[in-house]
Amino acid sequence: MGKEQKKDVFVIGGKPGWTPIKYSGIYDLRALMNSINSYLNSRRYYVIQREHTEKVTAAGRDIKIEIEPFRDVSDYVRFSINIIISILRNIDVVVEENGKRVKRQEGDVDILVKAKISKNYKSTFPSTKGGELFRKTYEKYITKKKLEGYEDKLKAEIRELMNKIKETLHIIRD
């Protein structure tokens, strides 16, 4: 049914990594999008839709949706997530669920997720040598424990989001 790779999705500094969820089969696109949006809204993320394109091919519709939710968790820290949903050979099918005939979709779903913490996103500390020194001192001695707590919180939120997606696609969760 669905294939996936298990990786840590959280990155602080450096180059962010993508974590994929892959699924082929019958699914409910509306339920998938509602699940993602509902989760992000419950965590008070502001969602920016970067792309939503559909292309009709002989094998079905190819759909690409890219959203970039973010949430300011403090005046110094922002959580950012990037989600890319690519669906190939999407066709509408009618299936029977609980004795009723319902419309669903069938295709190859590829979801990529990455998350990061942005520190000093409001430029509280200017990007001068002095500002950089103050920023490093602030992070190392004043808010070190708090920043580590934010890292754990973002990791937990991303794992929960990924599990919601897998649950909606009927993929076995971690």
Rounded average pLDDT per 10-residue block, the chain, 174 residues: 38 62 93 96 95 93 96 91 95 90 94 90 79 78 80 91 92 62
Q: How far, in Å, are 9, 29, 115, 119, 173 from residue 5 at the CA level?
A: 11, 22, 16, 29, 12
- Number of domains, the chain: 1
Identify the pLDDT of residue 110. Answer: 95
Examine residue 173 and state whether it is found in any structural domain, yes or no.
no
* CA–CA distance, 61 with 66 (Å, rounded to integer): 16
Examine residue 74 and state whether it is found in any structural domain, yes or no.
yes
Examine residue 174 and state whether it is found in any structural domain, yes or no.
no
Taken in order 81, 82, 86, 92, the sign of the CA dihedral is positive
First to last CA, the chain: 16
| Cβ-Cβ contacts under 8 Å for 84 (sequence gap 6 or more) | 64, 65, 66, 111, 112
Examine residue 86 and state whether it is found in any structural domain, yes or no.
yes
Examine residue 17 and state whether it is found in any structural domain, yes or no.
yes
Identify the pLDDT of residue 173. Answer: 53
Give, for 105, the enclosing helix (H) or strand (E): strand 100-119
Examine residue 11 and state whether it is found in any structural domain, yes or no.
yes
What pTM was computed for the model? 0.81
| Cβ-Cβ contacts under 8 Å for 121 (sequence gap 6 or more) | 72, 76, 77, 78
Could you tell me the residue range of the domain that residue 125 belongs to? Answer: 3-168
**Which stretches within the chain are classed as H helix?**
29-42, 129-137, 144-168
Examine residue 68 and state whether it is found in any structural domain, yes or no.
yes
Examine residue 25 and state whether it is found in any structural domain, yes or no.
yes
